[in-house]
Amino acid sequence: MRVDSWALTDVGRARKHNEDGWLIDEQLGLYAVADGMGGHAAGEVASAYGLRCVQEQLVTKRSLLEEYVSNPTPDLEAQLVREVELAINVASSAIYHMAQRDKKRHGMGTTLSMLLIADKKAFMAHVGDSRIYLHRAEQIHQLSEDHSYLWEQIKKGAITVEEAKNSPFSNVITRAVGITETVQVDTLVLDVLPGDVLVACSDGMHGYIESDAELAQILLSADGEEVPKRLVSLANARGGKDNITVVMMKVPGDADDPSAVDVIEKLDILRKIPLFRHLNYKELVKVLNQTEQRTFGSGEMIIEERSNGEEFYVILSGEVRVTKGGRTLTSLQPGVHFGEMALVDRSPRSASVQATKDTRLMSLTRSSFYQIVRSEPVLSSKLLWSFVQVLSHRLRATNEALSDARNEAVPTRHPLAEIDDLRREVTKLGTAEANSTDVPVSVDD
């Protein structure tokens, strides 16, 4: 897939040296930004050396990339994810040992945010507080998460985003390449679609962007090398207190392309499902990566009542009929899901589902769901919390239905029957008092 790219770096208005670095290797499909730390002759060395190490490491995997492009299997995809993670750790080890040999460079390190684009997929790897944004279908999505003290405080709810902007701890990061011999790397695999614009930038750039809408407006109002120029000018106009670096990638085409529409619609459908309501865009992408697309012809059975199954389904197109004991319960249309309890419960299916038209489904298996839960702690917490909410809602609805059914099952009594009951109670009371006292009691019928 063709990708056009542009880059620009600037020292800013306050610094004397530029410790940022960027890399574009179009033949390899590698695009990266690094922001060094450790002072002059240390920070700029760390960023440059880190980028070079990553590039050299991934060049040795060119045959793997070519194999993946020709045959993009899940196994090869997983192997490429491990390779981009390893590349950053190779850089981290190299920078760490360089600093150990030179006391003047002790403590040097760098952020590193990169994208390796292989045909229709992008492999993101990220450490630090530089960022990667995706502009798709007129919306901005931050794909990376800052490894910084302030971002940790925001996630905990200790401070707001507005308070973070004025905090004196804005430069404190919790993860960097080279500070230790190995580093935890955030990774993500995403589809590269016609019309996509990807932006990688250092914190000296994104720290001056006031909102996602502002960034979207700049991306829409300019093109090519003019975009990095405008972004750098904006950062300098608003203070330029740090080095400023921008790398921009643009995929020719637009979001109306059928291949783009298909992926965008799937993500939109996932977002509307109660189980995934709390997920951000990056987390939705991770769920989508675990799904498969399946097709069923008209009349073909998808789920058999009382059978064992482990798939959760979302209808992309077509129609299905749900039956129980041979009796039709309902028909389901595109955008509706069914079978989600199979993700956590091994009980037999409670109903049958049959395609009444040629139907296209998106499926998520129990094993794939557990893979997400095991590997993504934050994402798994959101999913499990959503499951609790869904089950709570169903339990409440079931209790209300049973209560209504119970009330309807009680026969309505004739008003005269209640009068007869009252008369009998009065008679019993009069007899009891007559037997226990000397006072005569008269009961008038």
Does some domain include residue 426?
no
Q: Are residue 55 and residue 186 in the same domain, yes or no?
A: yes
Confirm whether 204 is domain-assigned. Answer: yes
On whether both 217 and 313 belong to a single domain, the answer is: no
Verify that 315 and 222 share a domain, yes or no.
no
User: Average pLDDT of the chain?
Assistant: 89
Q: Are residues 134 and 203 in the same domain?
A: yes
Model confidence pLDDT, tens digit, residues 276-312: 988 999 999 999 999 999 999 999 999 999 999 999 9
Residues 18 and 128 in one domain: yes
Give the residue among 186, 224, 214, 154 at the shortest CA–CA distance from 84.
186
Instruction: Give residue 165's pLDDT.
Output: 74
Tell whether 194 is covered by a domain: yes
Domain total of the chain: 2
Closest CA to 288 of 188, 140, 422, 155: 188
> Which residue, 251, 284, 315, sits at the end of a domain?
251
Residues 319 and 348 in one domain: yes
What is the rounded distance in angstroms from the CA atom of residue 302 to the CA atom of residue 296? Answer: 7
User: For residues 250, 251, 253 and 257, what is the CA-based torsion angle, rounded to 10 degrees?
Assistant: -130
- What does the pLDDT look like over 128-150, one tens digit per residue? 999 999 999 999 999 999 998 88
355 and 245 inside one domain: no
**72 and 28 both lie in a single domain:** yes
Within a domain: residue 413? no
Domain membership of residue 331 (yes or no) is yes
Give the residue from 201, 44, 180, 217 showing the smallest Cα distance to 115.
201
Examine residue 162 and state whether it is found in any structural domain, yes or no. Answer: yes
Alpha-carbon torsion (93, 99, 101, 106), positive or negative: negative
Same domain, 133 and 192: yes
**Is 335 a domain residue?**
yes
Domain membership of residue 35 as a residue range = 4-251
- The verdict on 271 and 381 lying in the same domain is yes
397: in domain: no
Domain termination residue (choose one: 203, 230, 251):
251
Tell me: do 90 and 214 sit in the same domain. Answer: yes
b/e per residue, 322-358, with b = 16+ CB within 10 A? beeeeeeeeebeeebbbbbbbbeeeeebebbbbbeee
Tell me the CATH number at 70. 3.60.40.10
In 283-388, DSSP assigns E strands to: 292-296, 301-303, 311-317, 320-324, 327-332, 337-338, 352-355, 359-365
pLDDT in tens, the chain (445 residues): 899 999 999 999 999 999 999 999 999 999 999 999 987 679 999 999 999 999 999 999 999 999 999 999 999 999 999 999 999 999 999 999 999 998 889 889 999 999 999 989 999 999 999 999 999 999 999 999 999 888 888 877 788 877 777 787 777 899 999 999 999 999 999 999 999 999 999 999 999 999 999 999 999 999 899 999 999 999 999 999 999 999 999 999 998 999 999 999 999 999 999 889 889 999 999 999 999 999 999 999 999 999 999 999 999 999 999 999 999 999 999 999 999 889 888 889 999 999 999 999 999 999 999 998 888 888 888 888 888 887 788 788 778 878 877 777 655 555 555 555 555 655 555 554 444 434 333 333 3
The residue out of 344, 371, 392 marking a domain boundary is 392
Q: Are residues 45 and 180 in the same domain?
A: yes
User: The domain that contains 321 carries what CATH number?
Assistant: 2.60.120.10
